Structure 1
Amino acid sequence: MNDNNEEADVVVIGSGMGGLAAARAVAQFGERRVLVLEQHYTIGGMTHEFSRAGQYRFGTGLHYMSANAGPFLEFMTDGRAQLSPLPDDYDVLHFPEFDFAVPATRDRFRERLVESFPDEAAAIDAFFRTIRRAMIGLAARNVLASFPAGVRNVGAPMVRALFPKTYRSVSDQVARSFRDPRLRAIFAARWGLYGTAPRSSAFGYHAAVPLTFFMDGTAHPVGGPAELGRIITEILQRYGVQLRPRQRVLEILTDRGRVTGVDVEDTATGRRYRVRTGTVVSAAGVRNTYALSGQDRRLTDLPAEMSAVMLFIGLKGSPADFGLRGENHWLMPDLDGEGTLYVSLPSLNNPAAHRHTMEALELVDPAVVEQWRGSVADDRPESYREFKQLLAERLITRLDRQWPGLRKMIAFTELATPLSFENYQNSVRGSFYGLAATPQRLRSPVAGCRTPIKGLFVAGQDAWGSGVVGALAGGLMAANAVLRPRQVGALWRAVRKGPPPPDPGTPWQGYLRVAAIESLTPTVRRLRLEPLGSGPLPFTFTAGQYVKVELPVAVEPIERSYSICTGPQQTAFLEIAVRREPEGLGSAFLHQEVTTGQALRVSGPYGEFTWTGGVETETLLLISGGVGITPLLSVLTAAADAGHRGRIVLLASFRDEHEVLFSRELTALRRRLPGLVVKVVVTDWYGRVGEADLAPLVDGDTRVHLCGPAPMMQDLIGVLTSLRVPRQAIHTEAFVSGSSSRTRRERAHAVALAAAASGVTAYTIALAGGGPAVTCRPGQSVLDAANAAGVRLPQSCGEGSCGTCRVRVLGGTFETDSRGMFSTAELADGWLLACQTLPTGDITITAESTSTMEEIR
């Protein structure tokens, strides 16, 4: 591998929450070059989601988390994670003879227990004290495990002596604490949250996870688990962390007890290479880590882990039809809890979910699939498929017995087995929660972030505890061991301080709720978007700006831009108006499928089609075609809110009298704006507005805002130019029809195919006036190629709505869509939008200013 050597300061194996946490902490506070190698094709570990049947989305490991996920998650997401609370009774335990609902908050849990078991009230209070003590013992043990061996050897016996209950089995501790077997069963239940049965699990883990971590209530990530991964990977890239999927680590290299590098295979290409490094953080689990480094003989004393089968269910309707509200259900065949079936309802807890789903998980011995282990994932024997069908049928029967009629609502199912987790997670024998949460694990020197090899550390669940937040804590423990003391101090000060304030120069990204839907005309709807919780909008905007909205119309969502039609003074919500396009995927969804209460992913604000207030002597001329009036309504509202008294003229054109928009709002605005003149034209006015119509409205001090269909805008730019309105005074925003032309993606695909057929792999974009030439891949836009080469062009939206990225092509061949942003004369001079222009040969461009455009004419 000598010809394929690379170098990195730190290599992280695995992109689960533990690996990503370690990568962030080391890159940010250690200022190291960090490379993350992930064997799966998606970054994010168990926050990964997958789609089936073109409409259902399923999580793979994160079902719910603490509603108060604490400073760790705040740190990792810079405070951007949005959580939707589960019902107050968030876990319902179904025993053969009785049910028990676990409420949020420790006090209410205690009250319900005492109400149900009054004779054991004193024992219940004592048990809560025991929980706290055992939790402290677990934390002390785990923190100690991050210290060097000398400190661990001295401290470990002290922790065991001070906190003996941490090391007892769950069954032993509840038997010592209570007489009533039902009360014992309630406290011992929900061991499925960490994967080791009560007779074998250490009470410290049980005290930490079901009995402490969820006591403040529970929540589900808005947008699904993958939204956490998306936010975190964006932040990591900001700190220069390299993230590489489809990379299988073959060996962790050592020399005389110290890490020297890793050997890697790129499974997408088959290329093998070596990364030289003195520090490796493995979030691939203790068993994988020790095997890759030749240390697996040290693991013989650790008990085997459980795996799981998981049934993913797509539903025709809502689980609410069965009286379910989003709480989790634990179906237990007996008081011992063996064979517990855990059921979650993610679509009821994620306001952004588009289709209803249900997930059922049962922990199993990985030996249930032993006869098929070693077979190829895509070519398992028929007997394996029969096994899965029988198992899925058993689980469905059990669910239908609990909720009669559920079977008829099922539209889709897929079953994952230990082989599935082994294949996708690369976990040993499909282990679901890492090392078994047993007393032996707590006593073992290998169950922590330190290893016997210098420079090799373990992150993730095996370094702290189960679950996403447990893995995150394990990643930070590994970072503790890697960083210098001064850097560790800076890390924990940052965690305690909380996330930094948002960068005002960066568009906000997150979810807003559809609060109201109103039909304005037969083809136009107005949607009100508000924050998920109380309080104002999470961002401010300027009149005339727009937001991008992500729409779940297919397996992969699409993004569309919509102008804001409310004024900036309205901070409780914003509104957009959407015209239904005959072939528009986005508009079809917003007209036919979206419902009030649904959350949509929004980013913004964007755009420079803005008005921030003008001098009273200036004439503000607003010209719109159809739904292009939307941003102009925001401008008028802002003017009214500011008490503007200057002259404003609105020329609004509509094709049909039934399509006239905002009549009520314009009437109200006339009363508030003494200088406002409104002229509504109901006609196809392309070419019908000439100099004679506009001449009385323009002078040397006129500011024009123009928004509408491309042909109208192109004609009017020419008319305004002939009236000597300065080009810099004409502000444009494109109204882009979803069916007017091929999308840029379609055009790019055609350009790339044509180039490939001709054997062309790249074009050159030369910059007039000097400067380095830019290489452009066939199908790549001028703007994207320039950005990739570090050549800064004027830009804003990147999609042809704002018209900011004007460039002039001086020579060469290309495909483009002008979006009506230029007059006929400007087009003849070669002015185009860089984001919409695709070279089909070598070209030469200049990004001269708009004032230069006027001089050229």
Structure 2
Amino acid sequence: MGSDEEVDVVVIGSGMGGLAAARTIAQFGGKRVLVLEQHYTLGGMTQEFSRAGRYRFGTGLHYMSASAGPFLGFMTDGRAQLSPLPDEYDALHFPGFDFAVPAGKERFRERLKERFPAESDAIDRFFRTTRWAMAGLTARNVLASFPDGVRKAGAPIVERLFPSAFRSLRDQVSRSFRDPRLRAVLAARWGLYGTPPASSAFGYHAAVPLTFFMEGTAHPVGGPQELNRVVLDMLRRYGVVLRSRQRVHEVVVEGGKVAGVDVEDTTTGRRYRVRADTVVSATGVRNTYALIGKSHELADLPEERSAVMLFLGLDRSPAEFGLRGENHWFMPDLDDHDGVQRLPGEGTLYVSFASLNNPAARFHTVELLELVDPKVVDEWRGTSGNERPESYRKFKDELTGRLIARLEERWPGFRETIAFAELATPLSFETYQHSVRGSFYGLAATPQRLRSARAGCRTPVKGLFVAGQDAWGSGVVGALAGGLMAANAVLKPRQLGTMWQAIRSGGTTRDPATPWEGYLRVAGIEVLTPTVRRIRFEPLDGGVVPFSFTAGQYVKVELPVAVEPIERSYSICSGPGESGFFEIAVKHEPDGLGSGFLHEELEVGLALRVSGPHGEFIWEPGTDAETLLLIAGGVGITPLMSVLLAAADVGHTGRIVLLASYRTEAEVLFGPEIEALRSRLPGLEVSVFATDRQGRIGYDELLPHAGPATRVHLCGPAPMMQDLIGRLRELGVPPEAIRTEAFVSGRSKETRREKAHTIAAAAAAAGVTEFVIGTDGGGPAFSCSPGQSVLDAANAVGVALPQSCGEGACGTCRVRVLSGAYETDDRGMFSADELAAGWRLACQTLPTEDLVIGQ
């Protein structure tokens, strides 16, 4: 066993329940929280995986309530973006008839009455019973978070007050209705929590399909992983430490109290102990009790169901079959009870078309789920993935065939669209989810669970709590609520008041000074020249762009060029006065990965992840007496177009000179737009240079316009900028009056990575593990790992350096290298004299020995 660590709270598992507990305990309790995840990816059932270099699949989250609600709103600080499913979001298929579930409880009620008029009064009574059962489930779950004495006293009272919550679903619908078809409709969708009608508690059914989903449903824009990304970002802000590939073997108990956990780092095999007086387990009640050697205390709880999931990648859109993104449920019988005993692949089947509901999806996918008895794979349990016999592969192939046949029966020709198929069995969930026997939803949602003292967030061990689905209910939001219940049990009363107030308010409001991050829709693509396209972005639902910007700023855009996206920066070329959209203009660079995608593959309607605004290359109105000199090289005119539009919007009447240089006349950009601005900008002078005929902009072209009272914005290729900065200085333009913006291509980033790799390899061969960067003037020295940039090294230890974009486009992170060797790219941001004096960009400077820098 390795040396001990010590924290205040250990959270086992990084599903939504564990992350909710971790965040709230760190944020409102001020505790040092460590999250340990056995999988190599954080996020539990919000994680995704990719196949065939193009298809992305969710592992558990298929749809959710159309409203993020206060819990999810809090966990994402209101940053969750949801794309609504069609109004009729669940299509139910029974032998002999179909039923479409509409959004809205009253519309659902009225549709039921239209189809079953003889049961109209019974339908009204049933919905009243549903509300009462939902209240009972909530009361029971909240009570379970209280100390044992309170729970024991209150549990019988809750069951007496809310008996419908504790009845089976079959019992409740049988009491409520005579028509077997109506019973079937209202008992359907038990797959949302995983327990068949004969054994499930009606409280769970009342909560999930009949309450949470009643007002409509939605899918996360960007997929479930986007929720995961935002939540993990929030946890890091509160200092929560997150570790993957860490398997907890035991919760250490001393004198009836938690003392810590024994952990194995599965990457290195190292064993170590983490001391803590509070442990929150988000691995499920069964796994938690196993970690304290008390599995036998759960013998009275029924076994849970597992699942098989079929992941399909298509080469055409499912919309060709009339599908709009609604879910489809196939019930093999009206009763929906015999279905759970059928051969796998022939039971109750759920089919989700996630790609139709995710505007950021480029390739179409389908996910099929059938809940099954975990015993169906018992003969292969205990074998590893690479060692399983041919019989297991045959089982999977036959099951895959049966599931696809059901799709083909409903939508003839569907089989021909399938380009990829992969089946997950209970063994898959047992391996990757680390659930007991591949349990998909945690503890079975039965009356026995509601009555059990073990099914909740408290345990017999002081300081040990349970979070996740078993502490509240099924699904991602149910798991999140379970995490909040665990925090409810851990935090002090004063802290709880603050926590619940923050949850009700939906989290914190974004600081306007920080860049916005999220998805925007590509609303238009316009060819400006053979090599340049203008691309318009709008909010997903129309309305106002969620951030404002200053002329000259840029956005960062994630481009889904492969399984893992790449990020590129593009200047905004539209004016800041436009509220409903913004535009960028992109040149197609030879072999450019990002520009190639935007020119060759991008389609209107796709949602792309954007952050912004960024950059200090800004123009704000000054005095009309000064000359504003705008100098552009090629597509470097894009931010300057935004400056011109902003000047026109504020009624600027002073002198503005635009010098724009292109290789040929065919490459001239924004000609009509600039011509139209002449009437709005009386002081505008424009000179366009085609370098194949007129040569480059030089001293003579600058002479009539540059001087001590000139403000300059310069954007273009690095050699051009370096040359012109020197010329402008010769003409008396003060250094502080010159603003520059450089091009940053994907290749330039790759070049820096290659240099970094070379430097790191050379240092390792020489036995060098770090360089020391000293600061002139008595500032702190700091270490820099070989291959790390000066800026990254400074940020890692909290040494403040001026910065903005981090990629060499804005020129903000200027430092002066006084001594030492390094590799760098000056991006054309400096004149020859400045380069000679040692001025460099910290984000581009990679030390090869110890350095001394100044500012």
Q: TM-score range by the shorter chain?
A: over 0.9
| Other-structure match for 2:361 | 353
Question: Which moves more between the two structures, 675-684 or 472-481?
Answer: 675-684
Q: Within 5 A, what are the aligned runs for 1:773-852? A: 773-846=781-854, 848=855
Pair 1:292-2:291 in alignment: yes
SS at match of 2:844: coil
Question: Which moves more between the two structures, 92-101 or 754-763?
Answer: 754-763
- 2:403 counterpart (390, 395, 404): 395
1:453/1:742 Cα in 2 relative to 1: closer, same or farther (>3 Å)?
A: closer
| Other-structure match for 2:387 | 379
State the 1:516 CA deviation: 1.0
| Other-structure match for 1:747 | 755
State the 1:534 CA deviation: 3.6
Q: Within 5 A, what are the aligned runs for 1:408-427? A: 408-427=416-435
State the 1:759 CA deviation: 3.1
Paired AA for residue 75 in structure 1: F
SS at match of 1:718: helix
Distance 2:465 2:746 in 1: 52
Distance 2:298 2:159 in 1: 21
Structure 1 contact 653–685 (Cα < 8 Å) conserved: no
Pair 1:241-2:226 in alignment: no
State the 1:695 CA deviation: 1.1
| Other-structure match for 1:550 | 558
Pair 1:468-2:476 in alignment: yes
If the length of structure 2 is used for normalisation, what is the TM-score? 0.97
State the 1:771 CA deviation: 2.8
Distance 1:76 1:683 in 2: 55
1:293/1:712 Cα in 2 relative to 1: closer, same or farther (>3 Å)?
A: same
Q: Within 5 A, what are the aligned runs for 1:104-503? A: 104-337=103-336, 338=339, 339-503=347-511
- 1:561 counterpart (569, 577, 594): 569
| Other-structure match for 1:511 | 519
Distance 2:542 2:398 in 1: 48
Question: Which moves more between the two structures, 731-740 or 421-430?
Answer: 731-740
Distance 1:701 1:821 in 2: 21
Q: Deviations for 1:171-200, whole angstroms, at most 9, x for unmatched residues?
A: 111111111111111111101000001111
| Other-structure match for 2:772 | 764
Paired AA for residue 291 in structure 2: L
Structure 2 contact 757–787 (Cα < 8 Å) conserved: yes
| Other-structure match for 2:607 | 599
Distance 1:51 1:591 in 2: 24
Structure 1 residue runs of 5 or longer lacking an equivalent are 849-857
Distance 2:380 2:781 in 1: 56
SS at match of 1:379: coil
SS at match of 1:566: coil
- 1:636 counterpart (619, 644, 662): 644
Distance 2:439 2:749 in 1: 51
If the length of structure 1 is used for normalisation, what is the TM-score? 0.97
Structure 1 contact 686–711 (Cα < 8 Å) conserved: no
Structure 2 contact 661–697 (Cα < 8 Å) conserved: no
Distance 1:762 1:835 in 2: 18
State the 1:381 CA deviation: 2.5
State the 1:549 CA deviation: 0.3
Structure 1 contact 285–427 (Cα < 8 Å) conserved: yes
Question: Which moves more between the two structures, 763-772 or 24-33?
Answer: 763-772
Structure 1 contact 377–423 (Cα < 8 Å) conserved: no
State the 1:336 CA deviation: 2.6
Structure 2 contact 689–696 (Cα < 8 Å) conserved: no
| Other-structure match for 1:670 | 678
State the 1:34 CA deviation: 0.8
Paired AA for residue 80 in structure 2: A
Distance 2:698 2:333 in 1: 84
Distance 2:78 2:15 in 1: 19
Q: Deviations for 1:298-325, whole angstroms, at most 9, x for unmatched residues?
A: 1000000000011111110111011100
| Other-structure match for 2:342 | none
Q: Deviations for 1:739-783, whole angstroms, at most 9, x for unmatched residues?
A: 568532232223223333333322222222333322111211111
Q: Deviations for 1:685-744, whole angstroms, at most 9, x for unmatched residues?
A: 997333222111112110110001111111111111221211111100002344568532
State the 1:477 CA deviation: 0.6
RMSD: 1.3
SS at match of 1:220: strand
Pair 1:80-2:88 in alignment: no
Distance 1:738 1:213 in 2: 45
Paired AA for residue 695 in structure 1: L
State the 1:383 CA deviation: 2.3
State the 1:56 CA deviation: 0.8
- Of all paired residues, the percent bearing the same amino acid is 73
State the 1:675 CA deviation: 0.4
Paired AA for residue 758 in structure 1: A
Q: Deviations for 1:805-828, whole angstroms, at most 9, x for unmatched residues?
A: 111222222111111111222222
| Other-structure match for 2:343 | none
Distance 1:646 1:791 in 2: 41
Distance 1:301 1:29 in 2: 36
Distance 2:723 2:349 in 1: 67
Distance 1:263 1:406 in 2: 50
Q: Deviations for 1:319-350, whole angstroms, at most 9, x for unmatched residues?
A: 10111000000112111332111000111101
Q: Deviations for 1:404-429, whole angstroms, at most 9, x for unmatched residues?
A: 11111111111111111111111000
Paired AA for residue 342 in structure 1: Y
Structure 2 contact 553–571 (Cα < 8 Å) conserved: yes
Distance 2:692 2:294 in 1: 78
Structure 1 contact 706–732 (Cα < 8 Å) conserved: yes
Distance 1:741 1:557 in 2: 14
Structure 2 contact 689–695 (Cα < 8 Å) conserved: no
| Other-structure match for 2:344 | none
SS at match of 2:101: strand
1:372/1:539 Cα in 2 relative to 1: closer, same or farther (>3 Å)?
A: same
- 2:733 counterpart (695, 719, 725): 725
1:684/1:336 Cα in 2 relative to 1: closer, same or farther (>3 Å)?
A: farther
Distance 2:586 2:598 in 1: 8
State the 1:140 CA deviation: 0.8
- 1:702 counterpart (710, 729, 734): 710
Q: Within 5 A, what are the aligned runs for 1:9-158? A: 9-158=8-157
Distance 2:450 2:514 in 1: 45
